Structure 1
Amino acid sequence: MSNPSRRGVLRLTAGTALLGTLALTGCGRGAETTAAKAAAKPIGTTPATGTVNVWATQDDASVLDKVIKPFKAANPDVTVKFTLIPNSEYYTKLQAAIAAGKGPDVAQFFPESQAQFLDPSILRPVPDGLVDSGSFFKSLWDAGVAEDVAYTVPWYAYTYALVYRADLAKKAGVKAPTTWDGMVPFFKALQGAGAVHGLGADNGWDIFNGQDAAMYAWQAGGTLLSADGKWTLDTPAMVDAIKYNASFFTSGVADTATPTFLDSQPYFVSGKTACMITGPWVVGQLDTAAKKTGWTASHVATAPLPAGAAGSASISGGGSWGVLATGGNTDASWKFVRYLSQPGTQVAQFKTYSSLPAVVSAWDDPAIKGQPLLDAFFTQLTKARAFPQVSTWQQVATRLGKEMEAVAKGKETAAKAAANIQAYAESVGTSTK
């Protein structure tokens, strides 16, 4: 599978603050949003013309020249120019270009971290009738909506599920757990079958751990923001989420120090760990890590995330497209985005680079439906949720990761961690007005 690496794409803290200051301060945003929504006029069906400058990250976008060949054939008078930027630098460079008024016509975004861009001063609203919003996984579409205005169109999808050593589970005589209570016993059983640790938890203790806590809080029945836009992090559900995460470490089934992100797959293949809570891109990379074709098919299984008191919610991630407010070729830009949103195009992207479609119907294609290790991710995507569409979520999630570390290492209680993150979140606010 493909995906920008979990820790390679989203180092956003400094740039986020800059862009949030540029776009989301002041008092007139509501009026701007209403005017922008009214200005989102339909895009016609005549061939696109002119030049469309597209910025995207390396990895998934590296094959777009091949994927869009039918688009270029149907629109012979359009030129699409791609600028591919390393994942770790992408948002920083895009933010700087936007601030200088020199951004591209079309830019790639990430549903899990695009909130700071959802503003009419930065992105044009999605035109009426351009796409069917109901054709996408709901959480992916919702991630591009702010104040009832859609600014981005989903392109590919990912979420988290259990990826585990099926051979060790068979040896231990256990099946993947379906509830929180079964997690630690499952991991201990995998250890009994030969794994050093049952769970390989990526311990950057940063924004991504904070996203995990959000996911667990949803599973426990919690929210991150109230209906009126106030942080709701000091709750019993968040305390339960932080305790649940810490239980993996205090029970000895995971290590607070390793593996790091780059170690995760080699550890899994070697048996140092036996399970990962991770995205679908891993499935397609394990044969390479094992240096053996067919290793994954004979050693690996996937399962939806175990349910907490409120179910098996997961995060919503992937790629999306937006047209910049300063772009010069708006008509052709939206026609390009419309083409990339079509089921057939998203299947072509999957066949070329294994990016999983954001359009639900595309998962019925035999190229995808015939891969059983993907079933758990489809199930999880139907239960995925979008992160808060506020510009400070990245900062809050990063701080939450640090609080989780303190609890996992026995230096702080979960209740104290929840209180600390609530106080921090209130201090930075939401920057939506």
Structure 2
Amino acid sequence: MIGCTARRPAVAAVVAALALTSLAACGRSDDGEASAEEAKGTVAETATGEIEIWAAAGNGEALRTLGEEFAAENPDVSFTVTEIPWGEIIAMNQTAVASGTGPDIVMTGADQTASVIAMGGLAPVPDGVLDLDAVYPAAVASVTGETGQYAVPWYVETRFLFYRADIAAELGLEAPTTWAELEELSAAYASRPGGEFGFGLPRPIENPAQVIVPFTSQAGGAVADENGWTFDTPEFVEALDFYQGFFERGESPLSETEATFENGGNPMFISGPWMVGVYEEMIAGGAAPEGFTEESVGFVPMPSGSANNNSYIGGGNLGVFTSSDNQESSWSFLSWLLEDAQQRKLFDLTGSFPAREESADYQPILDSPVMAVLKEQMPNTVETPSYPSWSQVAEQIGVYAERVAHGELTSQDAAKAIQAEADNVGFGW
């Protein structure tokens, strides 16, 4: 999902407009830190009034159910929940900010939150609502603006490696734990009798940044620091080289293909836990190719580069709209949602992984093989760059990664070109 990034189209044009939007609604000035502190609200001891929520698609029912439980403890509060398609969240928030209207609480994906912060849509998180030590650090980064936190992580997710465990066993190989082992297994898959490809990697339509950013982290680098974007580095070049190698060796498809994970033609890819359900439905419904069973589907944490095995974090964040006239009660509800009991209840309701680290020590999570892998991967994650211009920059990574994959451009030249594009747009604050 990546909040769920896989289901959300890029919104580069909207983000470009947001870069020009005034930040006055966030209370920011030349003395941004002081004004953000001054703008912080308070939390109601007992919530009252109506709380209107814009929920991202697929999350409305859970918020209604949890809202009913919260109302049982706060009988003077009520909820109105409206589901918003993931791809419309940015535009709807922009319209609401421009008109001075909007809900009390708005949900954004991890890769969308910075844009809503930049347009002045979200109020600073009051003291006592978000325990920064209780949630995954990369999730905290996704709700952090220039001067502090402007939303709270509600659930998190990440990606890991899927591989055809049955074919690997036939080849006498196990799940890879390092880049070298990943390359070895990919080559073996592709070169086996009847084999076609080894490792399916995303190309522009699927946002290659979602693997290239983690590859950069696994090589010991980062794509930004406090001073700006950092693409023209040895670590980013190493990540692009690693990505490009699978295409150069013919192990990753460069065009549309009928080879799939299920038919064994493309037996390895990076994705999230939702794919297990996809395959279970396929098998149960009789749509799976002959010989493809639940035992065929292997999944393990990301293989490590020279530095770590970080993956790309995503998830769903909740913030209070600056125009809300019921902020204190809204913050009370969000603080309650982050408590351990409600984080576990969210998993029961939706299968969404809790943002609160301790809540992952929950028996239904520990008993699920795929959730256990997700739990193992979660501490090793790198955040979506939390800047309003990220969608534009990620699009450029896709453009140049495609040229690298086709051998039209070296990784070094691509890194320099991406750096120039990123420097041109800046962070977008």
Fold in common (TM above 0.5): yes
Q: What is the one-letter code of the residue matched to 1:285?
A: V
Matched with 1:106 is: 105
1:241 aligns with 2:239: yes
Counterpart contact for 2:94–2:119, Cα < 8 Å: no
Q: Distance in 2 between matches of 1:3 and 1:317?
A: 4
**Alpha-carbon separation, structure 1, partners of 2:414 and 2:327:** 46
Structure 1 residue aligned with 2:295: 298
Per-residue CA deviations over 1:148-183 (Å, capped at 9, x if unaligned) read 411111111111110122112222211121221222
- Residue of structure 1 equivalent to 2:182: 183
- C-alpha distance in 2 between matches for 1:406 and 1:369: 42
Matched residue type, 1:98: V
Q: 2:407 matched to 1:407?
A: no
Question: What's the counterpart of residue 133 of structure 2?
Answer: 134
Return the TM-score normalized by structure 2.
Answer: 0.91
Residues 84-99 of structure 1: matches in 2 within 5 Å? 84-99=83-98
Larger mean Cα displacement after TM superposition, 58-67 or 341-350: 58-67
- Cα distance in 2 for partners of 1:380, 1:175 equals 18
Q: Which of 343, 362, 365 is matched with 2:362 structurally?
A: 365
Which residue of structure 1 lines up, in the alignment, with residue 198 of structure 2? 198
Aligned partner of 1:328 in structure 2 is 325
CA distance in 2 between counterparts of 1:348 and 1:430 reads 36
Structure 2: gaps spanning 5 or more residues: none
Separation in structure 1 between the aligned mates of residue 23 and residue 230 of structure 2, nearest angstrom: 21
- Structure 1 residue 256, shift from structure 2 partner: 1.5
Encode CA deviations 1:254-283: one digit per residue, 9 max, x unaligned: 102236xxx9xx922232321221122222
Task: Determine the C-alpha separation between the residues in 1 that align with 2:397 and 2:2.
Answer: 24
Q: What is the Cα-based RMSD across aligned positions, in Å?
A: 2.5
Distance 1:236 1:196, change over 3 A: same
Aligned-partner Cα distance in 1 for 2:56–2:181: 38
Q: 300, 315, 336: which is aligned to 1:318?
A: 315
1:274 equivalenced with 2:271 (yes/no): no
Contact 1:283–1:296 (8 Å) recurs in 2: no
Which residue in 1 is equivalent to 2:281? 288
Does the C-alpha gap of structure 1 residues 45 and 195 become closer, same or farther in structure 2, counting only changes over 3 Å? Answer: farther
Q: Aligned partners of 1:159, 1:343: CA distance in 2, in Å? A: 20
SS of aligned partner of 2:208: helix
Q: Output the CA distance in 1 between the equivalents of 2:193 and 2:285.
A: 22
CA shift, 1:194, in A, is: 5.6
Contact kept? 1:3, 1:59, Cα under 8 Å = no
Secondary structure of 1:95's aligned partner: helix
1:339 aligns with 2:332: no
Please state whether the residue corresponding to 2:163 is helix, strand or coil.
strand
Which residue number corresponds to residue 158 of structure 2?
A: 159
Name 1:14's counterpart in structure 2: 13
Compute the displacement of 1:139 (Å): 0.7
SS in 2 for 1:352: helix
Q: Say which is worse superposed, 325-334 or 369-378, in terms of deviation.
A: 369-378
Letter in 2 for 1:142: A
Contact 1:3 1:281 in 2 (8 A): no
Per the normalisation by structure 1, the TM-score is 0.90
User: Where do residues 38-53 of structure 1 align in structure 2 (5 Å cutoff)?
Assistant: 38-46=38-46, 48-53=47-52
* Alignment size in residue pairs: 423
- CA pair 25-409 structure 1, distance change in 2 beyond 3 A: farther
Q: Contact 2:393/2:421 (CA < 8 Å) preserved in 1?
A: yes
**Structure-2 residue corresponding to 1:418:** 415
Partner of 1:55: 54
Q: Is the 8 A contact 1:112 1:316 kept in 2?
A: no
1:213 is matched with 212
Do the aligned partners of residues 3 and 270 (structure 1) sit closer, same or farther apart at CA in structure 2, a change above 3 Å counting?
farther
SS state of the match for residue 134, structure 1?
coil
Q: Which residue of 2 aligns with 1:36?
A: 36
Return the alpha-carbon distance in structure 1 between the equivalents of residues 24 and 273 of structure 2. 37
User: What is the aligned partner in structure 1 of residue 115 from structure 2?
Assistant: 116
Tell me the alpha carbon deviations over residues 8-50 of structure 1, each in whole angstroms, 9 at most, x when there is no partner: 224221111222211459996342442222342441432x111
- State the distance in 2 between where 1:181 and 1:60 align: 40
Question: Which residue in the other structure is 1:395 paired with?
Answer: 392
Asked whether the equivalents of residues 67 and 352 of structure 1 are also in contact (C-alpha less than 8 Å), the reply is: no
Identity %: 30
Contact 1:195 1:274 in 2 (8 A): no
CA distance in 2, matches of 1:193, 1:97: 58
Distance 1:128 1:6, change over 3 A: closer
Closer, same or farther in 2 for the Cα pair 1:28/1:70, shift >3 Å? closer
Give yes or no for contact 1:121–1:325 (8 Å, CA) kept in 2.
yes
Q: What CA distance in whole angstroms lies between the structure 2 residues aligned with 1:23 and 1:366?
A: 47
State the secondary structure of the residue aligned to 1:93: helix
For 1:282 and 1:133, how far apart are their aligned partners in 2? 30
| Mapped contact 2:157–2:313 kept (Cα < 8 A) | yes
Aligned-pair distance for 1:111?
1.9
- Does the 8 Å contact 1:249/1:256 carry over to 2? yes
Deviation at 1:404, TM superposition (A): 0.3
**CA separation of 1:80/1:193 partners in 2, compared to 1, >3 Å: closer, same or farther?**
farther
What displacement does 1:391 show? 1.6
Gaps of 5+ in 1: none
Amino acid at match of 1:372: P
- Residue 195 of structure 1 deviates from its aligned partner by 5.0
In structure 2, relative to structure 1, the CA distance for the partners of 1:104 and 1:44 (3 Å cut) is closer
